[in-house]
Chains A and B, each alone.
Chain A
Amino acid sequence: MRLFVNITLGGVAEGLIFASVALGLVLIFRATSIINFAQGAMAMLTTFIAFSVLGKGVGYWPAFLVALACGLLFGGVVQLTLVRPVQNKPPLNAVIVTFGLLILLEGVAGAIWGNTNRGFPAAFSQKGLVVGKTAIAFSHFDIFIVVAVLALSILVGVLFRFTTIGLRMRATAFAPEVARLLGVRVGRLLTLGWALAAVAGALAGLLVAPTSVFSPSYMDLILVYAFTAAVLGGLDSPLGALVGGLITGLALAYVGGYLGDSLQPIGALILLIVVLMIRPEGIFSRPTARRV
């Protein structure tokens, strides 16, 4: 029983991390129908920047903010320089460009910081909390993960639902031509969407780094798990990304806890196959009709 509770708690924390990467994927996908395969690598780069800033001895929180700011800037720059030229090309071109960016960034990070496994500091203690008399596998840092990801999700929700910019972004995603005719600056909003998605990714990068080995490829698996989560949630629903992330996190935690960590990737693959066979449109997707 205690094992089950501990695995479940670990799964929730992991799942929320997947959710924040998935949120970035969904924000981009619903606006542009592109899956950003570089989402994880961009987060890796901002986390390495935070790592270098930390090395200067400025403390954790300034480095944290620097990483998020770099994410914002970086997402926008990537959209303007690399994604915009392939925006209206066949979807495969965008897949290849973002995949190319993934490995380019991993190579660049390897060339600057080296491919060795490092450790990354956590904002809070990673020691398990004590409830009553028993220690559980849920630390202050895990609480921070929950708070940070939920805060991010609420901010994104508020932005989309209650602000003019959010309304315009929704219009851009829903009907770009009509939005443009009504005076919405579609191009700028797409750039903004990528920047926001990159911030969500940067946050995830900072949250993952202390819990795993920290090397240029440490976000690879997180990215494909987040992809699984996003597909589970329907690929175009932010709420779906959150729920999909939790489901994926829990499922993989049980696979890892009872069958062994090395079966987690295969577990994710099987989960993805099952979801696509049973409910390919995901849990929270809005119905779509394809036109000729």
Chain B
Amino acid sequence: MIKIPPLPSWVRLPRQPLLRHLLFAVVGGVFFYFLTQSLSDFNNFELGELAVYAIAIAGLSVLTGTNGQICLGQGAFVAVGAYTLAELEVHQSINLALQLLAAAAMAGAVGLVIAVPATRLRGPYLAGMTLLLALALPFLSDKYGNFFGGDQGLTVPPPSAPASIDPVKWLTWIQLFCALVVMLLLANLLSSRFGRSFRAVRDDEVAAALAGVHVARNKVIAFVVSSACAGLAGGLLALSSGVVNTGEFPLSLSIFILAGMVLGGTGSIFGAWWGSILVIYLPNQWSQSLGNTFHFNHLVSANFAVIAFGAVLIVMMLVAPSGIQGGLRWLGRRLVTLSTPTEPAGNISVSLQRATEPERSHDGSEAEHPPNGSGAG
């Protein structure tokens, strides 16, 4: 059921989320600016990739957490974005911002083709189709090797930085800037009319349709938004890896993104950062150091990341479906409740009941709150 907050006056409320989200984005920007100044080049590079995966995860999170659909092949849309940017780079050099927009638009268009047939029905159709897409795309780039650059792939030169700025830092800034802008837009989308109908469709399609929401169109919009986010992430990923080839987009990329979303907190935009940390560090650093500690043989260490992500998906779904961000929010609410004993304690466990409903009513507007700030707003 949708809960419509009481409107004291229609002028004030619509402005509030925008300003609030803008404030969070600016604070985030300042934080990241100082962070990049203090980090080494390598860490900045990693921070940039972290931002890129956070974009892809946030898009998926909006789709799954607020619209109740799932995409098992988010990696395929990342690939579409990356190849789009690389093809543009090879054939004609246009402005980087336009290239990134084209990457997002192309992935959104592919998403449209998938979403239109799959969203006409309730059921597991979208999940199956997106899994098929993720498995099929690598074959396509093998088949048309001339166009997609074959095994070597297409090379993408790093973006040219202004002379006074370190190129690595410049790329990191571009990636962080894009992540903050995307999250700002997503947060605003979720507090808009669209976000409300997304949630209405998630909770009860029939009721939403009776209330005048165009269910199929709504699902298509949510899916296109999610795939466009993945496409933008793909474009940005191509910039940092410098080369785009088939090997970079295996099925495991889709799995990593999905697991990142589940771990960070399904439906939470801020939670995408937690998930992204997992996606960046678990396959490489963490699995290496664990392997050294427990003396894995080479077969185990080659498969450790996949096993870990599979286990994360299953365990989180069974034990804590609202993820890290949901847990933090629960903790925050718990602290607020403890400090004000008059409040009834009944609403504490609500957030852990449904995976697709980590937030109670203001998904987007709370997305960037620190966990214990939500009680004050």
List chain A positions with a Cβ less than 8 A from chain B: 29, 33-35, 37, 82, 85-86, 89-93, 95-97, 99-108, 110-115, 217, 220-221, 224, 227-228, 231, 235, 260, 262-266, 268-269, 272-273, 276-277, 280-281, 290, 292
Contact = CB atoms under 8 A, between A and B. Distances in A.
A276 B113 CA distance: 12
B140 interface: yes
Given A96-B70, A96-B258, A292-B206, A269 B318 contact: no
A103 B317 contact: no
Given A103-B309, A115-B302, A290 B354 contact: no
A54 B68 CA distance: 45
Given A93-B321, A107-B310, A262 B142 contact: yes
27 contacts: A35-B128, A37-B72, A85-B318, A89-B354, A90-B354, A90-B356, A95-B72, A99-B131, A104-B306, A106-B303, A107-B306, A108-B307, A110-B299, A111-B303, A111-B307, A227-B132, A231-B125, A262-B143, A263-B143, A265-B135, A265-B136, A266-B140, A268-B132, A269-B129, A272-B128, A273-B117, A276-B125
B252 interface: yes
Q: Which of B122, B133, B135, B308 has the most CB of A within 10 A?
A: B135
A227 B135 CA distance: 13
B107 to A, nearest CB: 16
A93 B129 CA distance: 18
Closest CB pairs A-B (n = 4): A104-B310, A100-B313, A265-B136, A107-B307
B124 A290 contact: no
A276 to B, nearest CB: 4
Given A115-B303, A268-B136, A235 B318 contact: no
Interface string B63-106: 01000101010000000000000000000000000000000000
B258 A99 contact: yes
Given A90-B356, A262-B142, A269-B132, A110 B313 contact: no
Contacts of B306: 103-104, 106-107, 110
Given A82-B318, A90-B356, A265-B139, A102 B132 contact: no
Contacts of A93: 317, 321, 355
B193 to A, nearest CB: 23
Given A100-B313, A107-B307, 12 more contacts: A82-B314, A86-B318, A95-B72, A97-B313, A97-B314, A220-B135, A224-B128, A224-B132, A262-B142, A263-B143, A268-B136, A277-B117
B206 A92 contact: no
B121 interface: yes
A112 B142 contact: no
B131 A92 contact: no
B224 interface: no
B72 A99 contact: yes
Nearest to A101: B314
B189 interface: no
A269 B110 CA distance: 12
Contacts of B142: 262
A220 B250 CA distance: 12
Contact of B68 (A90, A235, A281): A90
Contacts of B118: 276
A137 to B, nearest CB: 23
B318 A110 contact: no
B312 interface: yes
B290 interface: no
B298 to A, nearest CB: 9
Contacts of A102: 310
B312 to A, nearest CB: 7
A292 B309 CA distance: 37
Contacts of A37: 72, 127, 131
Given A35-B128, A114-B299, A90 B355 contact: yes
